Structure 1
Amino acid sequence: MTILQRIRSPGLSFAQTVVSLALGGAALTSSYWCVGVQKVPKPLCSLSRQRRCVPVPGMANASDVLFSWDTGDDRFVFPEFHVGIFYCCQENIYTDAWEEKCRSFHSLTPQSEKAMMWLSVTMELMYMGLLCLSCLLLCLQLCVGACSPAGRRWGQLFNAFAAIFTVLAGLIGMVAHMMFMQVFQTTVSMGPEDFKPHSYGYSWAFYVAWVGFTLCMAAGVSTLNSYTKKVLRFQQKKKKVFQRIKVKVKLTVVSCLSVQHADPTMNVPQAMRGACRVQISEPVISQSQVCMDF
């Protein structure tokens, strides 16, 4: 039970949400969702490109050979590239020094996929916004619980909304990730010729995004489970308290009625009759006293 209580604790949910927000932000701003290589013909030799290039007569290191006898894959170079949600970077094959050229990934997507690309970006931003809101609500819950124990009901209200926003953020983030990967697959097959990769695979940002999604859903489910358990426990306690009140009131009424309707010849003190009227008229426990334990 102690382990389960720690799993459902607001502090752990807050920590999971913060880590999920950090991982999601790192993946969103990164351009390493997918990495790969391209297969392009060797460029002509120039002043900036002296190695792995097609010799050109008249260059300082070029012979008088007018033809290149490279065959097979020797006729090509394999520059690397990496792609993210916002931009794509490719290795510059026209210089010997390592250099990258970056451009917007949206400019590479086919016209038929641009609407889905924008929708994916919008949902990614919504995912981050809902996670920020969940972090704020969980932080308010922790502050209210630490500073004012009497405001525990407000803390549970913050907890409920945080759980809803966290689960909703996880679902939106999952759909956004899948939509972006669908757009990337379509761009690979239908995109411009200067982008089509020879081979590619997923990189660290892809895995970080899904780890962040997993933590987000874990935090949302644990927070929602904690709130639901407290609500059910409160309802059961409230029911038991009012059942005890009902039994006590019935016993009090029966005893007082027996006293008030006793035989006049019996010596019943007048003070006891007045005490019975007071016990019947005043409440035993109030609704607010029951709610204080929630």
Structure 2
Amino acid sequence: MDRARQQQALLLLPICLAFAFSLTAVVSSHWCEGIRRVVKPLCQDQPGGQHCIHFKPDNSSNGRMDNDSQAVLYIWELGDDKFIQRGFHVGLWQSCEESLNGEDEKCRSFQSIVPAEEQGVLWLSIGGEVLDMVLILTSAILLGSRVSCRSPGFDWLRVDALVAIFMVLAGLLGMVAHMMYTTIFQITVNLGPEDWKPQTWDYGWSYCLAWGSFALCLAVSVTAMSRFTAARLEFTEKQRAQNGSQHSQHSLPEPEASESVWKTGAAPRPAGQAFRNVSGHLPPGAPGKVSIC
């Protein structure tokens, strides 16, 4: 494998990495993570539990709790002891939070939490993420065909240009989709249902992966465009050198005059001058003939 194909194969690695980052971020539910403050349930169903409110029931004479609505419950927990901190994480598709025992999670659709007027923007964000992955995958296929195939009649410089264009479009689409999701989440925090609103929250690892994919897309686009520009300039210089050599070969004069001189043994006559024979004017006994101008 020559050096150019090795460089193209190395350029294929960050494209595949960007696709893996984007796919993992879309299917995961850790874009945002935080803590919810939830009121503890009564310990009636689970007596002696640690994550419930303990109370002193008013028992009747037969040993059972009086179901009268006038009964008074004496709650032992006060202030912050009445609440429990439950972690949650949210993605593009669902929102999950810890259960009371902390062993499993309870998930529900994120679309059901988002306000109705913002659900269209949520679907636009999801569509932008999917189109981002399609463009990255197309770029990987094009660059892979450039590395594996070498058809002499195909203009492979256009493939480099297409890869650069697709990757910069993928990066821009991903950036817009990430910003739309951030706006939707913040609106849901303020206007969402009371049984979901978080107390504190921050961005999760899926959100970092999404922006990492954006950075890789822009880096690959800049690299592919610089390689395309360098290859284009080199190709143009080669064409100019070939055209210059052909032009110089056609413009060289043919040595017809010098060949005729060597054939006749005489020098060419300058314009306006003529030769004349003066052999008749020589003295007797002079050797040879002399021609003067």
The TM-score with structure 2 as length reference comes to: 0.77
Separation of aligned partners in 2, 1:117 and 1:97: 30
Q: Contact 2:58–2:72 (CA<8 Å) still a contact in 1?
A: no
Q: Contact 1:42–1:52 (CA<8 Å) still a contact in 2?
A: yes
In structure 2, the CA distance between the partners of 1:244 and 1:198, relative to structure 1 (3 Å rule), is same
3-state DSSP class of the match of 1:77?
strand
Q: Contact 1:116–1:183 (CA<8 Å) still a contact in 2?
A: yes
In structure 2, the CA distance between the partners of 1:207 and 1:33, relative to structure 1 (3 Å rule), is same
Equivalent of 1:89, from 93, 96, 107? 96
Quote the offset at 1:54 in angstroms.
1.8
Separation of aligned partners in 2, 1:86 and 1:167: 26
Q: Contact 1:144–1:155 (CA<8 Å) still a contact in 2?
A: no
Q: After superposition, give the CA deviation of every residue in 1:3-22 in whole Å (9 maximum; x if it has no partner).
A: xx88x921121000001101
Separation of aligned partners in 1, 2:44 and 2:133: 46
- 1:123 corresponds to which residue? 128
- 2:284 corresponds to which residue? none
The TM-score with structure 1 as length reference comes to: 0.77
Quote the offset at 1:266 in angstroms.
6.6
Q: Contact 2:53–2:76 (CA<8 Å) still a contact in 1?
A: no
Any residues of structure 2 matched to 1:47-66 within 5 Å, and which?
47=45, 50-55=49-54, 57=57, 66=73
> Quick check: 96-105 or 194-203, which moved more?
96-105
Separation of aligned partners in 2, 1:115 and 1:236: 52
Q: After superposition, give the CA deviation of every residue in 1:226-246 in whole Å (9 maximum; x if it has no partner).
A: 111101111122122212221
Quote the offset at 1:205 in angstroms.
1.0
Separation of aligned partners in 2, 1:237 and 1:209: 42
Quote the offset at 1:58 in angstroms.
8.4
Q: Contact 1:137–1:162 (CA<8 Å) still a contact in 2?
A: yes
Equivalent of 1:132, from 137, 142, 163? 137
- 2:81 corresponds to which residue? 74
3-state DSSP class of the match of 2:202?
strand
Judging by fraction of residues, say which structure has more strand.
2
Equivalent of 1:267, from 241, 263, 270? 263
Return the letter of the residue paired with 1:192.
P
Q: Are 2:107 and 1:106 aligned?
A: no
- 2:250 corresponds to which residue? 249
Separation of aligned partners in 2, 1:116 and 1:20: 24
In structure 2, the CA distance between the partners of 1:134 and 1:58, relative to structure 1 (3 Å rule), is farther
Equivalent of 2:39, from 38, 41, 54? 41
Gaps in structure 1 of 5+ consecutive residues? 269-294
Return the letter of the residue paired with 1:55.
H
- 2:163 corresponds to which residue? 162
Q: Contact 2:86–2:98 (CA<8 Å) still a contact in 1?
A: yes
Separation of aligned partners in 2, 1:91 and 1:196: 14
3-state DSSP class of the match of 2:97?
strand
Any residues of structure 2 matched to 1:126-205 within 5 Å, and which?
126-145=131-150, 150=152, 153-205=154-206
In structure 2, the CA distance between the partners of 1:160 and 1:46, relative to structure 1 (3 Å rule), is farther
- Rg larger in 1 or in 2? 2
Separation of aligned partners in 2, 1:55 and 1:71: 11
Return the letter of the residue paired with 2:54.
P
- 2:25 corresponds to which residue? 27
Q: Contact 1:88–1:103 (CA<8 Å) still a contact in 2?
A: yes
Aligned residues: 250
Q: Contact 1:123–1:176 (CA<8 Å) still a contact in 2?
A: yes
Q: After superposition, give the CA deviation of every residue in 1:44-99 in whole Å (9 maximum; x if it has no partner).
A: 2243573221235389xx9x982214232112111110001111101233xx3522
RMSD: 2.8
Q: Contact 1:32–1:205 (CA<8 Å) still a contact in 2?
A: yes
Q: Contact 2:54–2:76 (CA<8 Å) still a contact in 1?
A: no
Judging by fraction of residues, say which structure has more helix.
1
Quote the offset at 1:123 in angstroms.
0.3
Gaps in structure 2 of 5+ consecutive residues? 60-64, 66-70, 265-293
Return the letter of the residue paired with 2:38.
V
3-state DSSP class of the match of 1:53?
coil
Separation of aligned partners in 2, 1:36 and 1:46: 29
